[in-house]
């Protein structure tokens, strides 16, 4: 039995494929698009247009690096306001041209630097969640590693959530949770169990729709079958969602987000009884 703490470590493993790997192996003819048309470019968000099984789609992914230099440049996948506004720009474009939106979530959280706060980080995240929640086009989110806090939810307020077996989705990091609850970040492993952040936990809560199995030890670039399985699940989800009217999509998505909100509050309510 793999513990929640072990899955957290596997979700953070440096050898896990990043968003660009999934895009390269799943989509055809990907064309990257840069800039938020307001302030600048954020390299921690990879976004553009591609084709999935012949269907034009808009893709937005949180991008970690493979080297120290890449991670510094991409802030370990933590987006700035420019990144979220770039995502918003592409979401609006997708709705205009009736393209489904696919997001790849892999971030410890939004970038917490003072320049991000000065640039309106909270507003950018809130606007991304609000915009995605009411897009009149199918939205599917794939969790490929970490899914931390509002930084992840900003790209996960869609119709379907697909999670790799060792990916996680939580209100904050286990270390942060332990620091707040017990004033001791070293109890992060205990916090991971309490938070219900694994794919299986979230499937049970109704937050996750599909879990993609991983090989023993976690997915790497040496296990390409996982890319094929993710592709199959994306095609299946798009097929199901394509038959739903835009108005019904938005209505069903609203109900889903309300359910996720209730599920996210359960660990906080449970800790009161500790």
Q: How far is CA 231 from CA 120, 131, 172, 201, 239, in A?
A: 35, 25, 28, 23, 12
CB 40 within 8 A of CB 24: no
Q: What is the pLDDT of residue 264?
A: 59
Closest by CA to 121, choosing from 111, 130, 129, is 111
pLDDT band at residue 217 under the 50/70/90 scheme: confident
Query: Domain tally for the chain?
Result: 1
Q: What is the pLDDT of residue 269?
A: 55
pLDDT band at residue 147 under the 50/70/90 scheme: very high
Q: What is the pLDDT of residue 270?
A: 52
- Give residue-wise pLDDT tens across range 55-73: 999 999 999 998 899 999 9
Q: What is the pLDDT of residue 266?
A: 59
Give the rounded percent of residues in the chain with a pLDDT score beyond 90: 79
**Rounded CA separation 70/174 (Å):** 25
SS3 103: strand
| CA dihedral of 37, 42, 46, 47, whole degrees rounded to 10 | -10
- Helical segments of 41-172, H only: 68-74, 81-96, 114-118, 121-133, 149-153
Range of the domain at 190: 4-271
The answer to pTM > 0.85 is yes
Q: Write phi, then psi, for 81 (nearest 5 degrees).
A: -55, -35
Neighbours of 194 (CB within 10 A): 17
- Give residue-wise pLDDT tens across range 99-120: 999 999 999 999 999 999 999 9
Reported as half-sphere exposure (CB side, CA atoms, 13 A), residue 43 has a value of 10
Mean pLDDT of 154-165: 95
Taking all residues of the chain, what is their mean pLDDT, rounded to a whole number?
92
* CATH code at position 40: 3.90.226.10
In the chain, beta strands by DSSP E: 28-32, 45-52, 55-62, 101-107, 139-147, 160-164, 210-212
Mean pLDDT of 211-234: 92
Instruction: Describe the strand order of the beta sheet including 210-212 as a list of residue ranges.
Output: 28-32, 45-52, 55-62, 101-107, 139-147, 160-164, 210-212
**Rounded CA separation 161/139 (Å):** 9
Size (the chain), residues: 274
CA 108, 110, 115: angle at the middle one, nearest 5? Answer: 135
Q: How far is CA 82 from CA 45, 106, 107, 129, in A?
A: 9, 17, 16, 15
**Rounded CA separation 191/188 (Å):** 5
């Amino acid at each position: 039995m793999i513990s929640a703490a072990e899955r957290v470590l596997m979700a953070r493993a440096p050898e896990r494929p990043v968003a660009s790997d999934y895009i390269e192996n799943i989509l055809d003819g990907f064309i990257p698009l840069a800039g938020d048309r307001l302030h600048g470019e954020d390299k921690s968000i990879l976004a553009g247009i591609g084709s999935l099984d012949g269907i034009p789609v808009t893709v937005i992914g949180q991008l970690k690096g493979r080297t120290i230099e890449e991670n510094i440049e991409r802030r370990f996948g933590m987006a700035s306001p420019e990144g979220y506004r770039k995502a918003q720009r592409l979401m609006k474009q997708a709705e205009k041209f009736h393209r489904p939106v696919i997001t790849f979530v892999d971030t410890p959280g939004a970038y917490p630097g003072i320049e991000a706060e000065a640039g309106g980080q909270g507003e950018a995240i809130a606007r991304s969640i609000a915009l995605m929640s009411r897009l009149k086009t199918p939205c599917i989110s794939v969790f490929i590693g970490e899914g931390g806090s509002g930084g992840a939810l900003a790209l996960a307020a869609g119709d379907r959530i697909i999670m790799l077996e060792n990916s996680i989705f939580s209100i904050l990091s286990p270390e942060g949770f332990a620091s707040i609850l017990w004033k001791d970040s070293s109890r992060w492993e205990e916090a991971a169990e309490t938070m219900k952040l694994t794919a299986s936990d979230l499937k049970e809560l109704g937050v996750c729709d599909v879990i993609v199995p991983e090989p023993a030890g976690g997915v790497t670039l040496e296990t390409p079958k996982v890319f094929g399985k993710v592709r199959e699940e994306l095609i299946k989800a798009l097929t199901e969602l394509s038959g739903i009217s835009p108005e019904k999509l938005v209505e069903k998505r609203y109900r889903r987000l309300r359910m996720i909100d209730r599920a996210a509050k359960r660990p906080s309510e449970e800790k009161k009884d500790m």
